[in-house]
Amino acid sequence: MPGFLSKFKKKIKEIYGEDSLSWFDSSYALDWIVVLGLYLLTAFIETQPIFERDFSPNDSLIQHPHTSEQISSYANAMIAIALPAALVGLIGGYRSSILEIHHGLLAAHTSCALTQLVTSFLKNRVGRLRPDFLARCQWDASQHVCTGKIHDILNGRKSFPSGHSSTAFVGMTFTALFLAGKTAALCFSVSPFSGSLLGSRFVRLCIVLAPLALSTWVAITRVEDYRHHKEDVIVGGLIGILSGTICYLLYWPSPFSASSFLPETMGRPRLTLDNDTSNRPRTDNYNLAPDDANLDFV
């Protein structure tokens, strides 16, 4: 069995490169466990009672009509989660790199899990009312109670921050940075694609900004649909941008640095053990001093 495993690993490295199994490390297994833990913690928060903020039936901020959504939660998940995953798989498959696929998926899920946790916690504890809350509530003035469906009422207390915005921005921020790491669109001191379509700096910049334009559109629809106040989508967007950026940089080199686009490092993720020095030799040319050497320290 050990011999078969060694041959299998050797074959994988021959096909996909020497670093193809670099992701098979206990530290990455721990990262995946933490990601799963974040998802489970988010699910637990969703089961907790929501803070019920007092309100006035005369508050104009919550008197808007309850309309249909332009972008459903399912469609938003496809935009923010499935699209980045498909892009990672496509580019990683084209480059025959299992390592890049693994690091791309890990970074995407890490950022998404962190964003969902922060968003769900704030929604639960802040309890801000949506702009269409009174339409959901169906206020009975004689009894001073809401008579609407309990699910709609509780959901109407989850305006801050916008989950659609945070989810869309975390997915599209990761996508933008991932594309920037492959095209050097945000590193203006290098141009690795001279003589091709990607040689145009403006084309590369547009490719990178396109995902962010998509997430901005998602955020705008939440205000148009009276699902969120403008502050909700702004804060939600910031949560997504920060989470996406931080988690991307955990596993991939900075797309703003020229050192990330050297021939030996371009497009490659960070590794646990080499700390972005994949081209460094495994041994350094240091000589040990003789045992009886006279070493003076000042």
**What amino acid positions are annotated as catalytic residues?**
164, 228
| Crossing angle between the packed helical segments 98-126 and 26-46, to the nearest 10 degrees | 30
The letter for the amino acid at 6 is S
The letter for the amino acid at 36 is L
Angle at 137 between CA 133 and CA 141, to 5 degrees: 120
Question: 269: part of which helix (H) or strand (E)?
Answer: none
38 three-class SS? helix
C-beta separation of 132 from 62 below 8 A:
yes
Question: CA dist 254 to 242, 257, 270, 275, Å?
Answer: 14, 6, 10, 12
